[in-house]
Structure 1
């Protein structure tokens, strides 16, 4: 009598064969890094995000759902303890591969944080907003590609094709933005939060100063008085606020000066992740500088 496989076993085998392969999961700390990851993972998976774009990485606290995302992640991409200090301990509890884009000693950073909290301030010795420089983000994309390829070698060809496409598009966008912004090199401005130095330096813009280093803290009265003095002397043509924070202090300082108001979003709040999302983000920043600084 011929052996017959029970129908239940056949159904089980078919269901296992039809089950989707677990997707390659990347978690980014902040949204601009998620936008770069989305270009690399196009057609493969959708990268996750830990810090909502309406929040600040300077003072964020992970929720239980964030911890679950970390537990499922294959790769976690973050700047480092100088920016996302809240991630230092949680990342010690995950088996995910970690890609830290800026060198830093967590112990030293925590000690510095304690000191600055005691002094009533918060200051970064280095500019942690790496995503403001397209050259650094091209390097970051290459590191992401290499790390993901090691985790999932079968995705290597797709990851490399996506990287090559992203690199070509980013270099073209960078050349375009240089041409658009070069006429504005002598137009002075202030920003609310010291987050744009790398963008300003890369494109040769004239930032005169900022209201605060840490957007979670109000700037001091003496500092605000100095800014108002420069505005009254017509040193600046624009002051930029941010959508994540109330601009009442900016309104108060600029009242009666005739200076223009702009709004820069350091965390890409309104940009939807996709293959061209990071380019759209750079374009949006450049567009706001153009709008507010043009004669």
Structure 2
């Protein structure tokens, strides 16, 4: 056990509060997952959030209260070690008997591979495969960035930005909760069904929102959005950084600037947590607009409504950034 985890475990012994009577204690990793679990548990109990909004999940130091919540958990829902490799050790130390559900690995979940290239599209008819997925173009390898994904795992972990995944996960969450709390199974299943209906309507709204800017091109700050892109068939042209854990090489920045100049990219999406100077460098001398998107929704209120608000805010950010007026 690391010294940090030892101290957290010791502190948790004194901070664990009273549990809901006959209700499972549930811990979740990030705010979007918290929202889905809160939807399923609505009217029964509330899950505990481990990683606070605005924090980078790839590297995070648990507060004593968060360690206590993890220690008291009967169930842990998390994206999995592809997003938070450090959390696996914390769970093993603080919650060794908890039932674990890594949502990225459940049956039916969409998994996408990392994209290593700075530019995602080759601007010809071979850009996409028959399933609408992106085809790798090895001639754009960025050798300074190609090992970043090895730090986090085999798959792109930003899977919560797929509403299709969210609907799958609602059912999984309801099933797992029903296993440990069968008395409330009907309520969990009904809440999951209600949540799916909300997301289905949300997807229709997003399609309508994006319709006015389809065909225009955008660049993202880091490659966090391909699940959203895939669900709505709305591909980004490239990413300034491969991940939020590294700075892009000069060659990668030059390639992105060339993409913007050559193909009239309309929008570059920045993120509130990261270096605005990089975006300014990329935009210099172009007519592209800058928008702001946050894949973790740090400014949104936690709870069942958080998830649809997150997806809707992303679609609006894209639309406002790419509008032609």
**Which TM-score band (shorter chain)?**
0.7 to 0.9
Q: Find the residue that maps to 2:236 and give its secondary structure.
A: strand
Q: Find the residue that maps to 1:262 and give its secondary structure.
A: strand
When the two chains are superposed, the root-mean-square deviation of aligned CA atoms in Å is 2.1
1:235 offset after TM fit, Å?
A: 2.9
- Residue 228 of structure 1 is aligned with which of 257, 260, 266? 257
State which drifts further: 153-162 or 130-139: 153-162
1:49 offset after TM fit, Å?
A: 1.3
1:279 offset after TM fit, Å?
A: 1.1
Q: Is the 8 A contact 1:187 1:205 kept in 2?
A: no
Q: Find the residue that maps to 2:299 and give its secondary structure.
A: coil
Q: Find the residue that maps to 1:279 and give its secondary structure.
A: helix
Matching of residue 240 in structure 1 with residue 269 in structure 2: yes
Q: Is the 8 A contact 1:238 1:292 kept in 2?
A: yes
Larger Rg: 1
1:274 offset after TM fit, Å?
A: 2.6
TM superposition score normalised by structure 1? 0.83
- Residue 148 of structure 2 is aligned with which of 122, 127, 135? 122
- Residue 278 of structure 1 is aligned with which of 307, 311, 317? 307
Distance 2:164 2:104 in 1: 14
Q: Which residue of 2 aligns with 1:200?
A: 229
Matching of residue 42 in structure 1 with residue 68 in structure 2: no
Q: Which residue of 2 aligns with 1:159?
A: 188
Distance 1:51 1:283 in 2: 22
- Residue 215 of structure 2 is aligned with which of 186, 210, 217? 186
Query: Could you list the runs of 5+ residues in structure 1 that have no partner in the other structure?
Result: 1-18, 105-118
Q: Which residue of 1 aligns with 2:179?
A: 150
Matching of residue 90 in structure 1 with residue 90 in structure 2: yes
Larger helix percent = 1
* Alpha-carbon distance change, 252 to 164 in structure 1, aligned in 2, over 3 angstroms: same
TM superposition score normalised by structure 2? 0.76
State which drifts further: 121-130 or 19-28: 19-28
Query: Could you list the runs of 5+ residues in structure 2 that have no partner in the other structure?
Result: 1-18, 107-144
* Alpha-carbon distance change, 160 to 258 in structure 1, aligned in 2, over 3 angstroms: same
1:25 offset after TM fit, Å?
A: 2.4
Q: Is the 8 A contact 2:295 2:310 kept in 1?
A: no
Distance 2:253 2:272 in 1: 20
Q: Find the residue that maps to 1:59 and give its secondary structure.
A: coil
Q: Is the 8 A contact 2:226 2:235 kept in 1?
A: no
Distance 1:244 1:31 in 2: 16
